[in-house]
Every structure is written in C-alpha cells, then in structure tokens.
Amino acid sequence: MAKLLPGKNGGKYQVWEKGESGNPKGRPKKPVLQMKVVGYKLAEINDTIQAMCSMTAQQLREIWENPNSTILEKTIASALRKGIEKGNLDSVETLLNRVYGKPNEKLDITTQGEKINQPKVQVEIITTTKNEDTNDKGISGLINE
C-alpha cells in the first residue's frame, strides 16, 4: 500500500511499495486500437470516420443515442461531438488525419517565396606527371565560375 509522506510545501505525496502500481489497469488504449481488437477492419474504420465527419452535431447525437448503433459508430460520434461542443478540434483533426493523411507542410524561411539562384560551378581536374624541372606535385584543380 502507498505511504503518504509530507511534501516540501506542506502538501503530501505518495510513495509506492516495490512491485505496486498506482495505475494497475495501465494506460487506456486508443479508440482505433480498441476497434481493431473488437474485429473491425481498418478500411471499415476509415470509411465510418469519413462518413461521420460530414454529419451535423444533431445527427451525431442521434447515432450516440441509438441503441442499435455499433461501438465503432458510437465511439467516433462521441469523439466528434465532444470536440465540437468543447471547441477543441484535436479529436476531429486526428480522425481526419487518419483517413486522409496529414497534409504536407511547406516552410520557407530563407527566400520569402523567391527562387534561389545558384551559381553554376565548373570543375576541371588536370592530371600531370611529376616534372623534375618545375617541381609539380601531380594533380592540380581549376575552378571557374
């Protein structure tokens, strides 16, 4: 059993015994993983999300309240409805990203949209043999712009 110990600022904190957990059931599984365990195929999940994203809040509420709705429909309806009602669209964004993929993000921090002009560089490598008269070392390179 956990022990309550006094904290620095007058509060208390728990210290767990070795082998004991404060969360015995573990972290809850994500809804899509739960749906796969129940037996839904990924295509079914994506099709349902896609169809339900085009519904109104009233239609989502009706699906949630309908006793004949599947667990998949109820889970998606609940996530969409709560997100809309609370004004937090993270769950909606997650569902849309799952179906349509995350949009490509473009970032231009150097040119403000203008084309980058890269100078052309020509490299010429000349190979020579060692000449005792001029003390050449062998390979010399010439770079022209």
What's the number of domains the chain is made of?
Answer: 1
Read off the pTM. 0.44
Question: What range defines the domain where residue 57 resides?
Answer: 29-100
Tens-digit pLDDT profile for residues 53-107: 888 888 888 888 888 888 788 888 888 888 888 888 888 788 888 788 888 877 7
Task: Answer whether residue 8 is part of any domain.
Answer: no
Task: Answer whether residue 18 is part of any domain.
Answer: no
Task: Answer whether residue 3 is part of any domain.
Answer: no
Task: Answer whether residue 132 is part of any domain.
Answer: no
Tens-digit pLDDT profile for residues 11-43: 888 888 887 777 777 776 666 666 666 677 778
HEC profile for the chain?
CCEEEECCCCCEEEECCCCCCCCCCCCCCCHHHHHHHHCCCHHHHHHHHHHHCCCCHHHHHHHHHCCCCCHHHHHHHHHHHHHHHHCCCHHHHHHHHHHHCCCCCCCCCCCCCCCCCCCCCEEEEEECCCCCCCCCCCEEEEEEC
